[in-house]
Amino acid sequence: MAWLFDLVPPDYRAHEVLRRYPVLLARFARDHVTAGLEAARAGWRTVRVELADDLPADAMEAAIAAYEREGARLASAARGVEAVAGALRGERWVPRL
């Protein structure tokens, strides 16, 4: 549960229902991570156009790299949340080869 709480805004810790029902916390975490991933993808697609006149080339490349790293982190977190949520629901994990 601590890892799931680390994925959502800190204020979510104040909700007793999320501490009481880990499967609900996993749902909140999934929704939050998914929204962040979508935002990172949108930022990656549009940053060159929207900030072309405001950033030097090296800053633009650094921004794109940051979006890529954040997207990869969030995609990994999303896979982890799905695995944890499945385990909380009693699903059996089967490794994919």
Q: What is the pLDDT of residue 30?
A: 97
- Give 97's pLDDT tier (boundaries 50, 70, 90): confident
Q: What's the whole-model pTM score?
A: 0.85
| 63 token code pair | 């921004």
Where do the domains of the chain lie?
A: 22-88
Distance CA 21, CA 1 (A): 10
How many whole angstroms separate alpha carbon 1 and alpha carbon 43? 29
For 28-85, the pLDDT digits (tens) are 999 999 999 999 999 999 999 999 999 999 999 999 999 999 999 999 999 999 999 9
pLDDT > 70: percent of the chain: 100
